[in-house]
Structure 1
Amino acid sequence: MTALTRRLQPTIRVRLMLVYGGLFLVGGLVLLAVTYLLVKNNTQGTQAARVTAVQIGASGTPVKPIPGKSTAQVLYTAGQAKGMVLKARQDSAQQALDSLLTQGGIALGVVGAAALGLGWFFADRALRPLHRITDTARRVARSRDLTERITYDGPRDDVKELADTFDTMLERLARAFEAQRRFVDNASHELRTPLAINRTLIDVAVRRPDASEDVKRLGESLLVVGDRHERLIEGLLTLAGSENIVVDTSPLDLGDVGAHVLDQAKTETDHRGLTVHRDLGRAPTEGDPVLVERLVQNLVENAIRYNVDGGEVWLCTRRTANGAEVIVANTGPVVSAYEVETLFEPFRRLRSDRVRSDRGTGLGLSIVRAIASAHGGTVTAVPRAGGGLSVTVRL
């Protein structure tokens, strides 16, 4: 079904109105037809109309004028008078039937139009519970507040069953999101604490004056592995948390966020010999400042890590007609168009590189897309000619 066909389809309110009005018009037409037949049969069975202007005599004799009438009146024979009576009866019956059809048709049209108007009104009344369900679903989708309910208190019918089913679904979703939030909070504490303790113990062991070179090398390796595990856990927790509801939003400017992230990454860009191009125009929007900063930070980190020494990084922020956008591009290895979408999947890296740990955990772009979706935004990526990637986030 094409989009034009879907747009031309009448709404359920229009269809109900047409059903109500159509049933009334069909019933009115049937009633008018039955009335027409009854009147016609009754007219054919009536007696001949009286002719008061003449007096019928014997067959073949002229009709004498009635006393008191004008002598200018024409004299008729009995046969002629009978024919006139029959013709007058037929004319009278036909006039009555024509009048019935004309006036009945007009009345049926007027009442049919009124029936369509009443059908539109009563269709609205009948669909009002559905409008209430739709409004509630729209508010929940817009505010993402799963605590709201329809609480429809109408009769036990199909609409009541639909409203109760929707409330049950919202309740289960609320419980699921709350369980996920508690899990993320608990996991954040239970996973970060032992890793922090391990890092402290290893660092103390490495810094001991009597530590051998083997112990120091082992400790440095363990610190690298622990740092990767911390980043992995941090990424997983951020991914899980960013897929939840973003409730606390505040005004922010993507240009300010981009400048802050680039300042933090200056040490790494200088170490790699990268040239950073800033085009930080005003890009006001609303969102969770921590998550939005993490979004831009992941884009910049990916642009730095998946780059060539002495390459370039571009960061652009600007206002759009529907909000704001940030664009991060870099030089680097050539990326095929069919590989772009797979980069947004968790733990997926370019050309399935799952071994190297110096380039991150493979969650960077997954977190970017999750944060953008939680803010009602979109993420698109296209390969750059000559190598590298250009990622655009619209909020």
Structure 2
Amino acid sequence: MKRLSLRARLTLIYGGLFLVAGLVLLAVTYVLVDQRTTQPVGMALRDAKPVVQGTEPKINGVPAEQLRVLVSRAQDDARDQTLYSLLTQGGIALLLVSVVAIAFGWLVAGRALQPLHQITGTARRIAGADVAGRGLHERISLSGPRDEVRELADTFDEMVERLDRSFDGQRRFVANASHELRTPLALNRSLIELAVTRPGASEDVRRLGELLLSVNERHERLIDGLLTLADSENELTARSRVDLAEVAAHVVDQAVRAGTGPVVDREDLAAAPVSGDPVLLERITTNLVENALRHNLPTGGWVGIRTGVVAGRSTLTVSNTGPVVPGYETAAIFEPFRRLAGERVGGGRGFGLGLSIVRAAARAHGGTVTARPRDGGGLDVTVELPPA
């Protein structure tokens, strides 16, 4: 059962209190009027003297008892009419004033809850940011008297400020650490290549150098992935019109020229224009295709890529064959350093950053990325972006 909004409940409370107070006031008025109108017959009737000794007292020729009855009946009729008018007209007036009071209470409740709406709107925009931490620069900055609502808004701003600093520090640390690690890795590569290519280098030295170069290359790819991930979570400063179909065709051509992995089907590349960073959009497509090729069947595998506009959104979908993927584990593959087994990656299968970069870059463009298991094994990974 859907509950009434806080504004409606406050309005009902205001209107109910006013109606109860009006009913109490009407009842008190009714009792007071009833007491004031219930008076004994006048002094003239009570002190009337008989005209002749032994006869019934008369006033202006009318027997006092009969006149007393007439006056009493007239008083009762007047009192009844007065009380009836008080109840009916007072009730109608109370009803009309209650309607006005409810309408006024609706306006007052809306005015009182306006700061809460401002707080809710800011919190909703922060929570709905396409990348975690991106909307933390917003503040409520509520003005007005320092009451309970103002203290709530100030406390919320303070919390968001601390979170904003924490996210910024984390992003700066990843970017700076990645940049700092590039230099020693490049130096190591140069020294190893120099040692391997020396004329007098033995076969053992050459094999060791090739192994060290492979390890160094792996570390360089990790650093490049971290840098790309950090850059993908930043705001896009420049946008241009890009067709996802052209990007997908270019990436597939590169995969075909590499000549490794399953066959890539690109028969369904319809126009899908978007506005964004061409480099990041190409990285999205490349990572999806490489991930589909890497996690595939050893023989007889297949990769399909298609683009188009679906429900007003430009979409890019990469499908592949492969092992059966439980639906509840698809969310984990978009986390950094995570794979379907839920452990930190190792070996030569990658670092688990490819799909994390895809998600960060898609969110930077105001889009989303989802993965859905395919019947018989493999995944359908779909990127949806706002159309240009």
Contact 2:178 2:226 (8 Å CA) reproduced: no
User: Which residue of structure 2 lines up, in the alignment, with residue 73 of structure 1?
Assistant: none
Provide closer, same or farther for how the CA distance between residues 49 and 383 of structure 1 changes in structure 2, counting only shifts above 3 A.
farther
TM-score between the two structures when normalised by the length of structure 2: 0.83
Separation in 1, partners of 2:82, 2:331: 79
- For residues 78-117 of structure 1, the aligned pairs below 5 Å read 78-117=64-103
Structure 2 residue 119 is the aligned partner of structure 1 residue 133: yes
Provide closer, same or farther for how the CA distance between residues 159 and 263 of structure 1 changes in structure 2, counting only shifts above 3 A.
same
Separation in 2, partners of 1:139, 1:352: 31
Displacement of 1:265 in angstroms is 2.3
Contact 1:249 1:286 (8 Å CA) reproduced: no
What is the RMSD computed on CA atoms of the aligned residues? Answer: 3.2
Structure 2 residue 14 is the aligned partner of structure 1 residue 20: yes
- For residues 1-395 of structure 1, the aligned pairs below 5 Å read 5=1, 8-45=2-39, 47=41, 78-140=64-126, 144-242=134-232, 244-248=233-237, 250=239, 251-268=241-258, 270-272=259-261, 274-307=263-296, 308-337=298-327, 339-350=329-340, 357-395=347-385
Provide closer, same or farther for how the CA distance between residues 284 and 15 of structure 1 changes in structure 2, counting only shifts above 3 A.
farther
Contact 1:298 1:368 (8 Å CA) reproduced: yes
Contact 2:325 2:377 (8 Å CA) reproduced: yes
Contact 2:252 2:264 (8 Å CA) reproduced: no
Separation in 2, partners of 1:49, 1:278: 114
Q: Which moved further from structure 2: 156-165 or 247-256?
A: 247-256
SS at match of 1:276: strand
Letter in 2 for 1:113: V
Separation in 1, partners of 2:214, 2:293: 19
Provide closer, same or farther for how the CA distance between residues 187 and 30 of structure 1 changes in structure 2, counting only shifts above 3 A.
same
SS at match of 1:316: strand
- Say how many residue pairs are matched: 374
| TM-superposition CA deviations, 1:260-291 (whole Å, max 9, x none) | 322332323x2335243342222234444443
Separation in 2, partners of 1:91, 1:103: 18
Contact 2:33 2:83 (8 Å CA) reproduced: yes
Identity level (%): 57
SS at match of 2:271: coil
Contact 1:49 1:85 (8 Å CA) reproduced: no
Provide closer, same or farther for how the CA distance between residues 267 and 208 of structure 1 changes in structure 2, counting only shifts above 3 A.
farther
| TM-superposition CA deviations, 1:40-73 (whole Å, max 9, x none) | 111113545999xxxx97897698987xxxxxxx
Contact 1:274 1:309 (8 Å CA) reproduced: no
Q: Extract unaligned runs of 5+ from structure 2.
A: none
Contact 2:332 2:342 (8 Å CA) reproduced: no
Q: Extract unaligned runs of 5+ from structure 1.
A: 67-75
Displacement of 1:77 in angstroms is 5.1
Separation in 2, partners of 1:24, 1:245: 55
SS at match of 1:9: coil
Letter in 2 for 1:39: V
Provide closer, same or farther for how the CA distance between residues 166 and 389 of structure 1 changes in structure 2, counting only shifts above 3 A.
same
